[in-house]
Amino acid sequence: MAALTPHSARVLQTIGLTTTAILAGTSASFSLYTVPRLLESPTPLLLKQFKHMFAAGHDTVPAATVVAATSLLYLAYDSRAAGSPAWRGYVTAAALALGIVPYTLVVMMGTNKVLLDRAEEEEEKVEAKAASVKQLLDQWATMNLGRSVLLATAAVTATWTALGKGL
């Protein structure tokens, strides 16, 4: 495979860096801005809104993460082939970005399931569980910040590497 041209390397750096940074901001905005507004809603509405927020994130974040990680891994491959130590930074950034998948499965999946299941319950049953639902959603927001940190760390690592600072 031919080495990347300087222009194509910059394009991949831009894709990898900006995508991880945008994903970090998107994830953080769920926890810092959206969830506090949801907690002001009546419980049945809160759960419907959570379900829609979850679906929107589920439909976009994984694909964008794959785009970012693929860009970074291609940069790592090219850097290693060229004998540059930058490959380590790009691999690290890609691993951090992809780390949101096991993090979600291990740390968040149980809470996600409970909240999504409650969104399907009858309004009367949900109202009786209002306090626990709000506590679960608050927990979800806190756990979700972990994904934001992984993605922000990926963006910083990729940026540092692109600037030639390496790991």
Question: What is the number of other CB atoms lying within 10 angstroms of the CB of residue 24?
Answer: 22
Q: Is the pLDDT of residue 114 over 80?
A: yes
CA 116 to chain centre: 19
Block residue for tokens 């940026």: 159
Q: What is the pLDDT of residue 1?
A: 63
Task: Please tell me the predicted confidence (pLDDT) of residue 39.
Answer: 97
Predicted confidence band of residue 163 (pLDDT cuts 50, 70, 90): very high
**DSSP output for 29-50:** HIIIIIHHHHTTS-HHHHHHHH
pLDDT at 167: 59
DSSP E strands, the chain = none
Predicted local distance difference test score (pLDDT) of residue 2: 73
Backbone φ/ψ region at 122: left (φ over 0), alpha (ψ -120 to 50), beta: beta
What the block records as the tokens of 105 is 């499965």
Percent of the chain clearing pLDDT 70 (strictly above) = 98
pLDDT tens digit sequence for 131-150: 999 999 999 999 999 999 99
Token match 């922000």: residue?
A: 152
Res 165: pLDDT: 74
Q: What is the pLDDT of residue 98?
A: 98
Q: What is the phi/psi pair of residue 47, to 5°?
A: -65, -40
Task: At 41, give phi and psi (nearest 5°).
Answer: -90, 155
- Residue 95 pLDDT greater than 80, yes or no: yes
- As a whole number of angstroms, the distance between CA 49 and CA 1 comes to 47
User: SS3 of 122, please?
Assistant: coil
pTM value is 0.92
Query: Looking at residues 102-121, what average pLDDT do you find?
Result: 96
Residue 6: per-residue pLDDT: 87
**CA 92 and chain centroid, separation:** 16
| CA distances in angstroms from 14 to 47, 52, 73, listed in the order given | 37, 30, 13
Kindly state the average pLDDT of the residues 14-21.
97
Is residue 166's pLDDT more than 90?
no
